[in-house]
Structure 1
């Protein structure tokens, strides 16, 4: 049950996230649909390739495609005065998508009995991959490479999943809420990892 729930949540959240970026960049309706679909399914496609699943697996998700298209359409039709804070909406939906798809990707790898390293990679790629493709298509710096902590939260979630210490849907839902909250806090509070800038003397 949890698998389907996270699939739906992640698909809707990332489809809307992609649509928001497309509207910010003033794309037409076709561009909004393209960016929304790419954001919702890009991470899963990259994950499947790296863990050895056929790309055709993606096309078996007809219902998820329908859900993504419906979410994009509904969001596009909402009058702008109801969605004044675009940036806030985008970060919230992105946080929800990251959390849902990271857990889903980690669960997928655990189900395939892959090692812990593969579970972490699958979760990070599923959670962040679609956003990376979206940002690159929109000509933006990928959010996973910005200062605020992003992909690390996906890695933390998958680490706990890979250890298989905690089991059951309740744990998964708690983990989802926790990762979503931590990502939102990272953005609002400016939490970041240590960084170092090198000045090259010519």
Structure 2
């Protein structure tokens, strides 16, 4: 049940996130669906490719595709909801998607006894892969490489799960909440990783 709930939460959040980026970039309706679906399913696709899961498994999630389609359509036809707080909405929904899919990716790797480093990488790739593809399609620098602390929160989820610290549904949802709060806080307080300054 937790797996399905995380899938639904992540799909809705990333579908909204991708569609809001489409609003910001002034895309047409087709662009809305491309960015929405790419963001919602891109992370899982990258994870499956790297760990050898058949790619066609992504296309078997008909219920999630229907949810994503409905959400993208709703965002497109209700643009006034986002007026005045588009940027903060993008940050929030992106944080929720990042957290949900990072946890899901880590649990997926744990299901076949992957080592800790693989669990952590699965969390990062699943959590941030869709957003990375979204940014590339939108002609932006991927957020994972320059934005306020981003992939570190996904890695933290992988480490917590890989070390066996998350053993109940309650702790899973608590971890989800913590990651969302940390990601939003990192944007609000402008937390950044060290950067290289060429002189």
Q: TM-score, normalised by structure 1?
A: 0.95
**2:6 alignment counterpart:** 6
**2:101 alignment counterpart:** 101
Distance 1:130 1:35 in 2: 9
Alpha carbons 1:12, 1:67 under 8 Å: kept? yes
**2:35 alignment counterpart:** 35
Write out per-residue CA displacement over residues 26-67 of structure 1, whole angstroms, 9 at most, x where no aligned residue: 111011011100000011000001111111110111111111
Distance 1:10 1:111 in 2: 19
Instruction: Name stretches of at least 5 consecutive residues in structure 2 with no aligned partner.
Output: none
Alignment RMSD (CA, Å)? 1.1
Alpha carbons 1:147, 1:193 under 8 Å: kept? no
Tell me if 1:152 matches 2:152. yes
Task: Tell me: CA distance 1:55–1:167, structure 2 relative to 1, closer, same or farther (3 Å).
Answer: same
**2:47 alignment counterpart:** 47
**1:72 alignment counterpart:** 72
**1:115 alignment counterpart:** 115
Distance 1:125 1:44 in 2: 8
Please identify runs of 4+ aligned residues in structure 1 that moved more than 6 A. none
Instruction: Name stretches of at least 5 consecutive residues in structure 1 with no aligned partner.
Output: none
**1:16 alignment counterpart:** 16
Alpha carbons 2:132, 2:142 under 8 Å: kept? yes
